[in-house]
Amino acid sequence: MSEEWKDQINNQINTLEKLEEIINLTDSEKEAINTLDTRWGTTPYFASLMDKDDPECPIRKQVIPSLEEKHNKYGMHDYLVWKENRATDEVRPDSIARQYKDRIAFTVFKKCGIYCRHCFRKELVVDHDLELDFNIDEGLEWISQHEEIRDVLITGGDPLLLSDDKIEYIIASLRAIPHIEMIRIGSRLPIVLPQRITEDLKRILGGYHDVPIWLNTQCNHPKEITEKTKRAVYDLVSSGVNVGNQAVLLKGINDDVKAIRELHQKLLTARIRPYYLFYCEPAPGIDHFRTPVEKGAELIRDGLRGHTTGLAQPMYVIATNIGKIPLMPDYYIMDKTDEKYILKNHRGELTEFPNIPE
Ligand SMILES: *Cc1c(COP(=O)(O)O)cnc(C)c1O
Ligand code: SF4
């Protein structure tokens, strides 16, 4: 039986001809598509959200290759090997990336519902420079032998593009390991292919009280949230899956107060809880998406903290080989004496608060 989500994947918009049926391309977009040796594309659903005429459209910029990708001044060569801490003494299967004692990232699939131009895994997912073997059973075996791991983050590529049977196998196997207390899934599909959240998938992921699932998606601009997204997230949440967002700070897409505030407010209207705002990682060929590091903290200071509900606040982090490092705005404590703190709010007003000795 054909399912809508499979049709979306089989009919991906990944050629110039198909793209030209949807939007009017600029000469430079055409040249990038014709000359760059890179995988690109997305679902017809997500492509339909692109602006027909505006090359600055935030969705176009995430989907369509750019000639800027040829430049690489700041990106690291072999970025993913560094980032995922693969060159260490601990022997681990390729599917296991480790930076922390109690949790790991478990990579199970290489394909995506969109080949994001800013992807930090682009060497693996988009450009295929890096070959890794994602043997699921080998990964599960490693996890079952490491009792200190209590939290498994299933990632990719996009793990929800696997068949229902494979997803059920992975989830059921993890739930059967006594030391696994929670499972996480990183997937862009609620945004780029909400049709994937089917009745069967809800049954596979939901319905358990123990070993809960937290799904973090990636949504970078308010334009990406539609009625279909809202419905898919409602379906996930009502079947017991918690849904969060990990946005990437992207120059020219969401690096302004208006876009960042609207994004985080709109996520909440779709029941998606903001989790992280990532600095755009130094993978090769994506310099043009990167802002100065301070930008994310400034946007939280000027657009989010105090300007809207605390529920809409992501934590701004830099992802590194030694873990994620928070870089939050630091204007709150203006002064401190033995008796008191002087604190500042988002409007620049000051207040005093007692300093309690230990
Ligand atoms: C991001 C990441 C995690 C999860 O980190 P949290 O801060 O707990 O969300 C775990 N392992 C690796 C290798 C990661 O990159
Ligand atoms: S969905 Fe994730 S892994 Fe896939 S291309 Fe986008 S950022 Fe990379």
Same domain, 148 and 251: yes
Q: Are residues 341 and 232 in the same domain?
A: no
Which range of residues forms the domain containing residue 110?
Answer: 70-327
Ligand 2 pocket by Cβ (under 6 Å): 112, 114-116, 119, 121, 125-126, 156-158, 188
pLDDT band for position 208 (cuts 50, 70, 90): confident
153 Cβ below 6 A of ligand 1: yes
Residue 216 is predicted with a pLDDT of: 98
Residues 269 and 339 in one domain: no
Binding residues: 112, 116, 119
pLDDT(236) > 90: yes
Pairing verdict, β 323-326 and 315-320: antiparallel
Residues 256 and 170 in one domain: yes
Do 81 and 200 lie in one domain? The reply is yes
Total structural domains in the chain?
2
Which pLDDT belongs to residue 212?
96
Q: Are residues 354 and 303 in the same domain?
A: no
Distance 341 CA to ligand 2 centre (A): 44
**Cα distance between residue 195 and residue 112, in whole Å:** 14
Whether residue 238 sits in one domain with residue 121? yes
Q: Which atom of ligand 2 is nearest to the CA of 126?
A: 5
Residue 11 in domain:
no
Tell me: do 252 and 159 sit in the same domain: yes
- pLDDT surpasses 80 at 87: no
DSSP string computed for 95-115: TEEESSSSEEEEE-----SB-
Same domain, 75 and 116: yes
Q: For the chain, what is the total number of helices (H) and then of strands (E)? A: 14, 12
Residues 87-102, mean pLDDT to the nearest whole number: 89
Does this model's pTM top 0.85?
A: yes
- The residue to which tokens 């929670």 are assigned: 182
Cα–Cα distance for residue pair 187/243, rounded to 1 Å: 10
CA-closest candidate to residue 232, choices 184, 176, 190: 190
Looking at residue 210, its pLDDT comes to: 87
Please give the pLDDT value at position 43. 98
Q: Please tell me the number of the ligand nearest to residue 96's CA.
A: 1
Residue 2 pLDDT level (bands cut at 50, 70, 90): low
Question: CB under 8 Å to 274, separation ≥6 — which residues?
Answer: 244, 245, 247, 264, 267, 268, 311, 312, 313, 314
Residue 83 has pLDDT above 90, yes or no: no
| Atom 3 in ligand 2: residue holding the nearest Cα | 157
The finding on whether 321 has its CB within 6 A of some atom of ligand 1 is: no
104 lines ligand 1 (CB under 6 A): yes
- Per-residue pLDDT band at 39 (split at 50, 70, 90): very high
30 within some domain = no
When pLDDT is cut at 50, 70 and 90, the band that residue 327 belongs to is very high
Helix (H) or strand (E) holding 89: none
pLDDT bin (cut points 50, 70, 90) of residue 337 is very high
Counting ligands in written order, which one lies closest to the CA of residue 219? 2
Inter-residue contact 156 to 186 (CB < 8 Å): yes
pLDDT tens-digit series, residues 100-144: 999 999 999 999 999 999 999 988 888 877 778 889 999 999 999
Regarding whether 208 and 342 lie in a shared domain, the answer is no
The torsion angles phi and psi of 58, rounded to 5 degrees, stand at -60, -25
Does the CA dihedral 73-76-77-79 come out positive or negative? negative
> Which one, of 213, 131, 115, 130, lies nearest residue 170 by Cα?
213
Q: Which residues of 131-153 are buried (b: 16+ CB within 10 A; e: fewer)?
A: ebebebeebbebbbebeebeebb
- Same domain, yes or no, for 226 and 340? no
pLDDT of residue 207: 72
- On whether both 115 and 136 belong to a single domain, the answer is yes
pLDDT value at residue 8: 97
